[in-house]
Each structure stands twice: as structure tokens, then as C-alpha cells.
């Protein structure tokens, strides 16, 4: 016969209902546990997490525009638990980047690293998604493969004798084609020559200026730039000029019909002349009959400065 065991009464006396403080503490602990479980299952984005990187199959005989980084920064998306495990991991994974698998732009030797190119088993086990990569583009140069046309610039230091000034500067060629690697060409936007320095100029000059190579690795198809500088002389000219009447009302006579114009003209030193296409006009309206109107210059030749017009006003007399 099996004896029935019963709980001794002295143990039942020791069991007591928890008090209010103990019950509150138990509920608080349970709430904290539920909150923690909820937080660990919530999806977060962790930004700018650094990982060591190893590049392989870099472009043959090409050099990067910037030194390839030793680390990449990733924006990661995952649950709080997976991201917590990742941050607590003592040894972070090393990213393996194969240039053969990257998106390649042949025109600029530019490689683009997409998030899907990051393959890490540890990320896949924790369901961690790569959202963004910094940096994500790598540009390489190719020696002697590229060319571009760049403008020529001539350093000038020109000073002129009194009553002389510059008319034009012409040089050829104005643009030059340069060959070289894409990295060096990228930084080359202007081709300079030796400086042109002349003081007390009064006559035209011609010069052949040597081109200064911006880099020893670049090839240039010209060695000299031919420069022509045209110098002019300010000639003071006094002449009588007819005045033309314009406006809504032209039933007037102008008095005087001719005025004296004093002006200066910058002319080439080898062909001084006083015949210029200078036109003077007077604007009339129907209310200024019997009054005077200002004479103004309607057309002024190039490199011309009008000094004075005498008289500066003419009378408008009805016909």
C-alpha cells in the first residue's frame, strides 16, 4: 500500500501573498522584459558603421584619382537584436570588393559600388541589409589614352606711351589639344605660355611664346603660340557734322543744321584717318516747336570718345 504524501502544515504557514510593493516590482520587471523584446524586434537603420575593406582585381596599369580607402562606411538596416549582435561582435567582418563585379563607366574609368555588391555571410545570417556605402565611386586614370581641347592663356604686362592704347590682341591657336592620362587631364583646364612684357608701347608687336607644359606626362601638339598686338594712337579730331531730325513730328527745320564735334579716335598707327561714321541726331515731338532740343550721338564708331558737341542744342523751327 502506497502512503499518500501531504504538504506539511508548517510549509503552508510560510507561504504568504506578496505585498503591494513586491507585486509592483514584479509587474515592472515583466513590463521591462516585454519592452525589451519589442525593441529588439523593431527595425532600425544604423548609419556610418566602419568596416575594413580589401580590394581585388583593380584596373590594370591604372591609378586611382584618390587613394583607395582602407575602410568603408555603411548604412545598415536590421532589427535591434541583429544590430546589437553586430556591434557586440569582437571581430568585425572584412569587406571584399571585386572590381570585376562593379558597374563600370568606360568614358571616365569610373567604378560604382552598389549596396548589392557587398556580400557578407554574417549580414545574411542576421538579415542585415546594406542601404548605402561611403565612398561608393572610384575613378582611375589610363596613361596616354585620353585627350581634350583646352584654352590658351597668355600672361600680359603691357604699358603704353601717352596717347597710345591697345586696339586688339590676336593669337593662334587659341585652343590646343592635349593627350595624357585621364587623372592628369582632369586637373588641367588652361594652357599657359611664357609671359609677354612690354613697356612704353607705341607700335604693333609680334611674338612667338613658348607653351608651358602643365605636366611632364602630357603631350601637346603645338610648342609656340603666335601673338599679334595692335597698338593705336588717340587722335583728336574736330569736324562739322550734320544733325538728323527724328521723332513723331518732322515738320521742323533744324537751326543750325550742322554742329561742331570734338572727339578722340583710337586708330592704328599705320593708317591715321579722320573719316569716321559718326552720326548725330535730334529727337523732336509735337510740343517742342519753337524750342531747343539736345543733340545726341546716335552712332559712335568703335574706339571713339566724344569730347564735346557745339552747340549742344539746336532750335526747332516750324516749316
Task: Tell me what pLDDT residue 84 has.
Answer: 80
Q: What does R_g of the chain's alpha carbons equal in angstroms?
A: 44
Kindly tell me if the per-residue pLDDT of 160 is higher than 60. yes
Q: Percent of the chain having pLDDT more than 70?
A: 77
Residue 314, CA distances (Å) to 38, 108, 257, 289 in order = 95, 69, 8, 12
Q: What pLDDT band is residue 1 in, cutting at 50, 70 and 90?
A: very low
Q: What is the mean pLDDT of residues 271-294?
A: 59
The CATH classification number of 41-141 equals 2.170.120.30
Element (H, E) at 149: strand 146-153
Q: Residues 231-270: pLDDT tens digits? A: 988 888 888 888 888 776 667 778 888 888 888 888 775 4
Q: What is the mean pLDDT of residues 179-205?
A: 87
Q: So what's the architecture of 234-318 in CATH?
A: Beta Complex (2.170)
Query: What CATH class does 146-232 carry?
Result: mainly beta
Beta bridge partners of 134: 73
Question: What are the sequence ranges of the domains in the chain?
Answer: 41-141, 146-232, 234-318
Higher pLDDT, 62 or 36: 62
Q: Residues 81-95: pLDDT tens digits? A: 788 878 777 788 888
Task: Tell me what pLDDT residue 2 has.
Answer: 46
Tell me if 146-232 shares its fold with 234-318: yes
Q: What is the pTM of this model?
A: 0.46
- Sign (positive or negative) of CA dihedral 16, 22, 27, 29: negative
**DSSP secondary structure, 214-272, as one string:** S-TT-EES-SEEEEEEEEEEEEEEEEEEEEEEEES---EEEESSEEEEEEEEEEETT--
Q: Percent of the chain having pLDDT more than 90?
A: 19
Amino acid at each position: 500500500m502506497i502512503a499518500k504524501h501531504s504538504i506539511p502544515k508548517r510549509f503552508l504557514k510560510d507561504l504568504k501573498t506578496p505585498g503591494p510593493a513586491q507585486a509592483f516590482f514584479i509587474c515592472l520587471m515583466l513590463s521591462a522584459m516585454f519592452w525589451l523584446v519589442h525593441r529588439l524586434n523593431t527595425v532600425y537603420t544604423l548609419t556610418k558603421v566602419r568596416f575594413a575593406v580589401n580590394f581585388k582585381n583593380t584596373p590594370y596599369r591604372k591609378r586611382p584619382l584618390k587613394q583607395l580607402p582602407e575602410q568603408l562606411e555603411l548604412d545598415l538596416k536590421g532589427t535591434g537584436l541583429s544590430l546589437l549582435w553586430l556591434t557586440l561582435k569582437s571581430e568585425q567582418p572584412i569587406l571584399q570588393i571585386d572590381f570585376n563585379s562593379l558597374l563600370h563607366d568606360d568614358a571616365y574609368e569610373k567604378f560604382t559600388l552598389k549596396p548589392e555588391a557587398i556580400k557578407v555571410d554574417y549580414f545574411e545570417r542576421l538579415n542585415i541589409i546594406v542601404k548605402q556605402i561611403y565612398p561608393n565611386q572610384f575613378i582611375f586614370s589610363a596613361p596616354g589614352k585620353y585627350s581634350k581641347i583646352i584654352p590658351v592663356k597668355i600672361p600680359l604686362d603691357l604699358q603704353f606711351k601717352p596717347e597710345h592704347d591697345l586696339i586688339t590682341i590676336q593669337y593662334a591657336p587659341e585652343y590646343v589639344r592635349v593627350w595624357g592620362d585621364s587623372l592628369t587631364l582632369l586637373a588641367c583646364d588652361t594652357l599657359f605660355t611664357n609671359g609677354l612684357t612690354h613697356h612704353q608701347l607705341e607700335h604693333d608687336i609680334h611674338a612667338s611664346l613658348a607653351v608651358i607644359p602643365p605636366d611632364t606626362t602630357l603631350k601637346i601638339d603645338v610648342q609656340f603660340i603666335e601673338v599679334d598686338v595692335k597698338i593705336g594712337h588717340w587722335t583728336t579730331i574736330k569736324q562739322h557734322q550734320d544733325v538728323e531730325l527724328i521723332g513723331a513730328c518732322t515738320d521742323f527745320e533744324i537751326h543750325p543744321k550742322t554742329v561742331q564735334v570734338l572727339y578722340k579716335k583710337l586708330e592704328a598707327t599705320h593708317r591715321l584717318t579722320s573719316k569716321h561714321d559718326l552720326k548725330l541726331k535730334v529727337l523732336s515731338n509735337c510740343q517742342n516747336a519753337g524750342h531747343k532740343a539736345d543733340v545726341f550721338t546716335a552712332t559712335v564708331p568703335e574706339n571713339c570718345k566724344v569730347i564735346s558737341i557745339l552747340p549742344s542744342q539746336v532750335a526747332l523751327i516750324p516749316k
